[in-house]
């Protein structure tokens, strides 16, 4: 291979790398937005999305260290800051960052198919998730023990639900572990008398009961350092606001 050809290939490799857009994203933005738009966005723009799986504190650390161009999480900025403080990470000043709200996530309560309740009030949810309500008959269901399932990996989701439904009080006794590869919604579908919650987008095509409950929502944020997004990131933001982007995403 001659030297000229080597230079051309090296230049091409640099150009390809320049088209990578590297983001640190949590479960909710991945499920609601980025996994849904990845293929169509790449085809439309030629920009390759590289998604690093990271919960909100880790996502900020990767951004702060310059390993990614933006971080995305499904929580308020106040909750994000609280998570940074809890992990002992540096909290950025407002002048250092720019935040974009790229979606709104709905956290939905799910029960196993044998729990045929159509509606649960805020007070009933507080009883079920705090452990005060131990039997389904206490909320109009059959005489069976309540099995509470919670997912330790969905930290921001758990904190949001606990804050809005339990007022920050702790959850009751729950099963927190599932077999490898099994999601919380899949576990609820397979566990009799069970209840849990998850982002609405994660429940598609699964056989669970979703009773009507008070709304639990939180923003999906994208955070960058500085005040001006790069050209690639600007194209991503524009795509998310386009009719095609809005059709593909949960917002």
pLDDT at 200: 81
Instruction: Please tell me the pTM assigned to this model.
Output: 0.79
The one-digit pLDDT tens for each residue of the chain (251 residues) are 555 554 444 444 444 444 899 999 998 899 899 999 999 999 999 999 999 999 999 999 999 999 999 999 999 999 999 999 999 999 999 999 999 999 999 999 999 999 999 999 999 999 999 999 999 999 999 999 999 999 988 888 899 999 999 999 999 999 988 888 888 999 999 999 999 999 887 665 568 999 999 999 999 999 999 999 999 999 999 999 999 999 999 76
Which domains are assigned to the chain? Answer: 3-104+220-248 (3.40.190.10), 106-217 (3.40.190.10)
Chain centroid to CA 174: 21
Vertex 192, ends 188 and 193: CA angle to 5°?
90
pLDDT at 15: 45
pLDDT at 10: 45
Cβ burial of 194 (10 Å; 0-12, 13-18, 19+) is: buried
Q: What is the C-alpha to C-alpha distance for residues 55 and 219, in angstroms, rounded to an integer?
A: 15
Residues 212 and 119 sit within 8 Å (Cβ to Cβ): yes
The H or E element spanning position 232 is helix 231-241
């Amino acid at each position: 291979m001659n030297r000229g050809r080597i230079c051309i290939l090296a230049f091409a490799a640099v150009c390809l790398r320049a088209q990578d857009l590297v983001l640190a994203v949590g479960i909710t933005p991945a499920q609601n937005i980025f996994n849904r738009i990845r293929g169509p966005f790449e085809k439309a723009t030629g920009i390759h999305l590289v998604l690093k799986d990271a919960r909100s504190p880790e996502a900020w650390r990767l951004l702060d260290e310059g390993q990614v161009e933006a971080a995305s999480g499904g929580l308020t900025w106040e909750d994000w800051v609280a998570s940074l403080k809890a992990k002992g990470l540096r909290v950025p000043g407002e002048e250092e960052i720019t935040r974009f709200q790229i979606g709104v996530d709905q956290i939905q309560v799910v029960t196993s198919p044998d729990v045929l309740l159509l509606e649960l009030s805020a007070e009933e949810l507080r009883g079920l998730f705090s452990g005060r309500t131990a039997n389904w008959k206490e909320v109009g269901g059959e005489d069976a023990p309540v099995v509470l399932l919670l997912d330790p990996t969905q930290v921001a989701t758990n904190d949001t639900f606990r804050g809005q439904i339990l007022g920050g009080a702790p959850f009751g006794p729950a099963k927190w572990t599932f077999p490898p590869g099994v999601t919380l919604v899949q576990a609820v579908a397979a566990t009799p008398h069970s209840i849990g919650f998850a982002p609405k987008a994660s429940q598609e095509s699964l056989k669970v009961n979703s009773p009507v409950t008070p709304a639990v929502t939180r923003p999906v944020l994208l955070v960058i350092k500085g005040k001006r997004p790069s050209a690639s990131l600007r194209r991503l933001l524009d795509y998310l606001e386009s009719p095609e982007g809005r059709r593909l995403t949960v917002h």
